[in-house]
Amino acid sequence: MTRKCLWLFALPLLLFACGGRTAVNNDGNHSQFSYAQLLTVNLSDGTVSVSDPWRQGKTLQTLKATKPLKRVVVFTTVHCQLLEYLGVADRIVGVCDAKYILIKDIQRRLALAKGAKGKIEDCGNSMSPDMERIIALKPDAIVLSPYEGQSMQKIERLGIPIIYAADYMETSSLGRAEWMRYYGRLFGCERKADSLFHVVDSTYQSLKAYAAKLPKGRSILTERKTGAIWYTPGGKSTIGVTIRDANGGYAFANDNHSGSLALNFETILAKAGESDIWAFKFNGTRPMAKADLLREFDGYKALKAFRDGQIYECNCSVKPYFEETSWRPDYLLREMIILLHPDAKLGKLRYYQKLG
C-alpha cells in the first residue's frame, strides 16, 4: 500500500502526513504504546506513527492533532461504537454500511429529516461510497479501515484527511483496544480514552487471574464450515489467546499463526471433533436450530459437541459482538470463561446463547 508523503498545513484541525515508504524510527525520542505494536509516539512533537502492517519497517501514516476533530465520516460500525464509548459520537456526520450499525442513537440520527440537528447521512457502501455526499458534508476527516492492496485514489483525491484505522491488524486484543488512546488524542478526549483503556486492561488482567485459578476448562471449537473450508483461529490469534487466557482447551493452541487457519472438515474432525463445546457466529433473522445446521452440512453431526447438544450461537445481526469486543476484550474474555467454565460465577452470557 504505497502512499505519497503529504502535509496539509491548510487544514486547521489536523496536521496530516502519510508515508508508505517511510522507515519506522525507534530511537530514544519515540515511545511505543503498552500493547499496540503498530503505534509509536514521537515524544518530541507528539506525532503518532502507524506502522504499515503489510510492509515491515514502513510507516502507513503519521498524524498529529492540533485541534479536536469535530466532523467525521466513519466507514465502520466498530469505530462508530468507539466514538460512542468516548462520548463523541455527536461528531459523526456520515457513515457507510448504515444497515449493519447496531447503535440505536446512530440509527435514530440516520432517520432524522435532512437538515435536522444531529442528522447523520448515509454515505453508501464502504466499498463504493457516495463521494458527492461526503464532499457535501465537509468533514474534518474520514475514518476507514484499510486493507492490503486497496486502491485509495478516489478517496484521496477528495482532499479530506483520512484516518487509516488499521487497529484490526494488531495481533492481540489488548493491542487493538489500546488504539482507543490514539483516537482519543485525535478527538480531544485523551484522558477519557486513557481512563477507559485502564478499565479494560485492569478488568482483563483480573479475569485472566481468576480463570487461572479455576480447574482446566472445557475445550472449544469455533466457527463453522464456509464452502469447502473451515476457518478457525490460529493459536496466536486474538481468539486463540483469549481461549488460553480463559484457561480453556483448544485443539490449535500450539499453532503459531496469528490469523485464521483454512482447513478442510476432515482436519477439523480429526483434531477438534472431540471438543466439548462448539461456538460460532452468524447473521440471521432468527436463532438457528440443529436442523438448520444439518441442512447446511450433514457432517456436523459427527462433532461431539453436536451430539451432546453443547452448541452456542452468536447472531451478529442482533448482538453487537464485533462493535463491542474490538474495544472491550474484557467482555469477550468474560464470555469465554463462562462458556468454558460452567461453574464460574460471572453471571449470564452477553453474546452467545445455547442452541435450542
Asked if pLDDT for residue 27 goes beyond 70, the answer is: no
* Average of per-residue pLDDT across 89-107: 97
Please tell me the CATH code under which domain 67-201 is placed: 3.40.50.1980
Asked if pLDDT for residue 19 goes beyond 50, the answer is: no
Provide the residue count of the chain. Answer: 356
pLDDT classification of 66: cutoffs 50, 70, 90: confident
* Average of per-residue pLDDT across 304-327: 97
pLDDT classification of 29: cutoffs 50, 70, 90: low
246: left (phi over 0), alpha (psi -120 to 50) or beta: alpha
Asked if pLDDT for residue 23 goes beyond 60, the answer is: no
The domain limits of the chain are 14-64, 67-201, 214-354
Name the fold adopted by 214-354: Rossmann fold (3.40.50)
Asked if pLDDT for residue 344 goes beyond 70, the answer is: yes
Share of residues in the chain with pLDDT > 70 (%): 91
* CA R_g for the chain: 22
* Average of per-residue pLDDT across 49-64: 93
Q: Which of 25-29, 50-54, 199-203, 257-261 has the lowest mean pLDDT?
A: 25-29
**Which pLDDT score, from 0 to 100, does residue 147 have?**
86
Mean pLDDT, all residues of the chain: 91
Asked if pLDDT for residue 2 goes beyond 70, the answer is: no
CATH topology of 67-201 equal to that of 214-354? yes
Q: What is the pLDDT of residues 167-182, one digit of tens each?
A: 999 989 999 999 999 9
Asked if pLDDT for residue 242 goes beyond 90, the answer is: yes
Q: Which three cell numbers stand for residue 331?
A: 467482555
Closest CA to 316 of 347, 292, 352, 346: 352
